Structure 1
């Protein structure tokens, strides 16, 4: 079970770092509405650029902490629960703008993985 939790930590952590640091200015099929960047996606949701920067900073920080938690387990639950809360918000934003359900799949999957990490 421990190896599965560590695998989830790596998958979630690296995936979120990829989204926010490498893919933020690229179009993906998962972006809300017809957005092609993260900044456009937040605008589609009715959120400001400031909120985008704040959420991005928190997600990147928590993703790094989730990976560091492999060696410092005390960080695991707070990082996983913090990410779970933000990912729940991501799913809610997709639902708010009536996106097709498949667009919220990555956020929902990572939400489930974060809850698994936090409680196992």
Structure 2
């Protein structure tokens, strides 16, 4: 296994597990990255002017793409779908932060995951 393969696996683990952590473990916890003054995922989506149904759709898609990215460590056929899906959703997250005039630092995790997803596609 070459160094580039190891780096790609690490990127997939970091992005996939981090997204699952945010949506499945810390969804209702205060973090410095939440949009507006939100204390939970539901409050964050409300700050963006989005419904709970949209939160469920986005969360389901993010978890699906994260799992596909993790699966792609073994079965590369899921890599493109997982990485491009995460990249698109992270671009959307950045747009939502900008929409409500959040400080740039709140977009940092989404920006990092967007870049890492694009790197995965490039590798």
What is the TM-score with the length of structure 1 in the denominator? 0.98
1:1-120 alignment, distance < 5 Å? 1-120=4-123
Moved over 6 A (4+): none
Unaligned ranges ≥5, structure 1: none
What TM-score do the two structures reach when normalised by structure 2? 0.96
Indicate if the aligned counterparts of 1:77 and 1:119 stay in contact, CA closer than 8 A: no
The count of aligned residue pairs is 120
Unpaired runs of at least 5, structure 2: none
Q: Distance in 2 between matches of 1:8 and 1:39?
A: 28
Q: CA RMSD in A?
A: 0.5
- Deviation (angstroms), 1:118: 1.3
Aligned with 1:30: secondary structure?
A: coil
